[in-house]
A and B are shown apart, each in its own frame.
Chain A
Amino acid sequence: MGTPIVDLTRIDAQIEISVRAGNVGVPQARDTMQTNYKAQDTVYPDTIGLSVVLRPGATYVDLAHRNSFRHKKLSYATIGTLESALGKGGYGMLLYITPDLPLLPDHHLLAITVNGVVQRALPDDAADTMIAALSVVDNPYPRP
């Protein structure tokens, strides 16, 4: 059985918050995202994508509290914002449900799709679109 995915048609895309830990405002952000997009592991070997956290109804502050990040900055957007921005470039997105206990209970992997097909690498323009769509804020609960 494959890793389950979020049914994006059944959630309020304007409320759900997706957070990527770390500051995507740094100059190396695109290269780093493209490398980390491909960081598969043994637990979810059929998946690929960017690390995000997501929980219905939770704000980025809630997510930062429930999950554990060392980063001083967080980058976040609503799912609707990301979907809309990616859609303008012909891309879609898919969210694998990949809880990673004990520190990341709300963990998901965000994969980019083209015509519904998951991309095995993160395209330059899709990465740039995501970087532009994400807001960078201080992490309210950085783990020491």
Chain B
Amino acid sequence: MTHPMQTERETRTREIIADFARLNIRPGFEGESIPLGTAQTRPELADLVEGQRVVLVEPGNLRADGVIAIRVAADVRYYYGVIVGPVMDDPAA
């Protein structure tokens, strides 16, 4: 149940811009995934956590429910969106 003080923004699943042209099967991921980048180049990713539910969207093209996966290489955190629902047309199209 939504707490009365929660804003609409807090209760909505966060949308993350993703490039569905990079949707692929990658080792170690449970499902097809899309690389999202690092917080160094995309600061808006910094507060995402492993397993967080999001909506991955390529505006005007495609969207899908996803969860965040994080991989660390050379001390840099790389964020991925793992698809957990059907890939659909984005309604803005």
Q: Chain A residues in contact with chain B, CB under 8 A? A: 20-23, 26-29, 31-32, 35-36, 38-42, 45, 48, 51, 69-73, 100-104, 107, 120-121
B78's contact among A42, A71, A102, A104, by CB below 8 Å, is which? Answer: A42
Chain B 15-47 interface mask (CB, 8 Å, partner A; 1/0): 001111111110000000011111001100000
Q: How far is the CB of A132 from chain B (nearest CB, A)?
A: 17
Structural contact, B59 and A26, CB atoms closer than 8 A: yes
The distance in angstroms between the C-alpha atoms of A72 and B19, with both chains bound, is 14
The distance in angstroms between the C-alpha atoms of A32 and B34, with both chains bound, is 14
Name the residue on B nearest A42 (C-beta): B73
Structural contact, B60 and A39, CB atoms closer than 8 A: no
Number of interface residues of B (CB under 8 A): 31
Q: A40-B78, A51-B19 are in contact. Are A26 and B24 (CB under 8 A)?
A: no
Structural contact, A39 and B62, CB atoms closer than 8 A: no
Q: A72-B89, A100-B24 are in contact. Are A22 and B58 (CB under 8 A)?
A: yes
Contacts of A73 in B (CB 8 A): 61
Apart from A23-B93, A45-B76: 11 A-B pairs, beta carbons within 8 A:
A21-B20, A22-B62, A26-B61, A29-B60, A35-B17, A39-B22, A40-B37, A40-B78, A42-B71, A42-B73, A71-B20
The distance in angstroms between the C-alpha atoms of A26 and B17, with both chains bound, is 14
